Amino acid sequence: MVQPAAPRSRAAYLQGPGRPAAPRARRGDHLCERRRHSRLPAAAADAGRSTTRRDLSLLLARGQQTKTTVALSRADARELHELLATAGIGSNLTPLPDRRQRGPKTGATTSQPLQLTGELSPHLSRGLWLVKWLLAIPHFIALVFLWIAYVAASVIAFFAILFTGSYPRRLFDFNVGVLRWTWRVGFYSCSALATDQYPPVTLKDVPDYPARLEVAYPESLSRRLVLVKSWLLAIPHYFVIAVFVGGAWAAAGIDRLYGGGGLVGLLVLFAGIMLLFTSRYPKPLCDFVLGMNRWAFRVAVYATLMTDAYPPFRLDMATRNRPPVAPKTAPCRRRYRHDCRAGNPRYRRAYGARD
């Protein structure tokens, strides 16, 4: 008696006679495949790497024999770099940059000769800022005479640059010291209120103090630009600085005394009120104040002929280095978790019963 054949599915019918039907793909199998690849033994990975390195060695030898240039992909170039380093040939090679690491583009922004930094103190007194202006009076008196000498030194430097094309080094160091002293006093009292550490009485750099200023010495300066820097090219910046620190800066040039107030003085007043009631100085507000001070000092350095680099129209606020965010991997869904476990017979046959 002939038994009727079992009904065939649509997939088996399309597959043709005599061929086993391919197992239908189920949702979640790609996750199992990903897990299987992640569980490859280390020996297999090392074998693949050794094979790649052997191929690279042959490729390099072929290129040396034929005296031709060998074109490599970025991954092969990394493997070749590691191979040479392992053999001791490329111990002095520069590591290849990673394209995935994002950074500033080369040549996008030029480095400025003035470097102004300020570190916000974590613990500030609530009411000390009310009398800081009184404690800083000796510094203000000294700064008045120092700025008079600063202007005189700038006039002498004007003629020195006009005839020799260089800024006298001693005058340059003196002017940088005046700017450094001025920034320390402003950071303590009227320009930021960001520290309770009393500023030192010196023109030299103090590495332990939270406020620092450095200006790179120019080996040569333009003789033509010296004629138009202060009164013509810096005029657009004068309007911006007048908003930041008040009109007294544009009139007298001694902005650190802040006789005219301005946006910096207003924001510093807000910061002092917040310190008085909350004992907290907002970091974004401090960064914004430091950016305006940095802008003002850059213009002062340019206007007093200490550099030929035109100051940029930006605040250059402090950037926060955020940690890189790890990419999110798609977890196995709960209702399909059975497909990714050893309970699935097809999974056991294909990938083994390993969990």
The string of pLDDT tens digits covering residues 214-251 is 999 999 999 999 999 999 999 999 999 999 987 644 44
**Residues of the chain under the 50 pLDDT cut:** 31, 35-48, 67, 99-110, 248-260, 319-342, 353-355
Give the single-character DSSP code of 18: T
- Phi/psi class of residue 2: alpha, beta or left (left: φ > 0; alpha: ψ in -120 to 50)? beta
118 forms beta bridges with 211
The H-or-E segment that residue 117 falls in is strand 114-118
pLDDT at 344: 57
pLDDT at 42: 47
pLDDT at 339: 47
Torsion sign across C-alpha atoms 224, 226, 228, 229:
positive
The string of pLDDT tens digits covering residues 261-290 is 689 999 999 999 999 999 999 999 999 999
Which residue has 């699935």 as its token pair? Answer: 344
Pseudo-torsion of CA 243, 175, 222, 249, nearest 10°? Answer: 20
Give the single-character DSSP code of 324: P
pLDDT at 228: 95
Question: What tokens were used for 209?
Answer: 């103090």
Domain boundaries, the chain: 53-65+73-91, 116-303
Is the pTM higher than 0.75? no
